[in-house]
Amino acid sequence: MKTHPMKLVTIVCEAYAQDAVTKLLHEVGAHGWTLFSVEGDGSQGKRPADIREFANIQIEAVVQPEVSERLLERLAKDFFPRYAMIAFESDVRVLRREKF
């Protein structure tokens, strides 16, 4: 069946960045997102999610390529310097192009 190429942008960041990130997703034109409560380890140390101050979230958004472009740019500019965070992009295929 006919599938359409899209970009999946994955963002892992500290829980307190949630509002800022979802706000950004909305601004750059993502039509939805999915959020995971996760634990993690990285250059800024372990985040065992024992209290909210040390909790991580992963946010995934399936978006049009140009949206992904804008999103990554904004993340690099405003977020990377401030938050414990990583972001990466990958290729996925969806059925209902109009949804994204």
Ligand X SMILES: Nc1ncnc2c1ncn2[C@@H]1O[C@H](COP(=O)(O)O)[C@@H](O)[C@H]1O
Q: Which residues bind other proteins (CB under 8 A)?
A: 14, 16-17, 19-20, 23-24, 37, 45, 48-55, 77-78, 82-83
Neighbours of 69 (CB within 10 A): 15
Q: Which does 96 bind (CB under 5 to 8 A by kind): ligand X, a copy of itself, other proteins, none?
A: a copy of itself
CB of 1 to other proteins, least distance (A): 17
CB of 84 to a copy of itself, least distance (A): 10
Cα 77 to Cα 81: distance, rounded to the nearest angstrom: 7
Query: What sign for the dihedral angle of Cα 9, 74, 18, 97?
Result: negative
Cα 20 to Cα 54: distance, rounded to the nearest angstrom: 17
- Contacts to ligand X by CB under 6 A: 12, 30-34, 40-44, 47, 56, 60-62, 84-86, 100
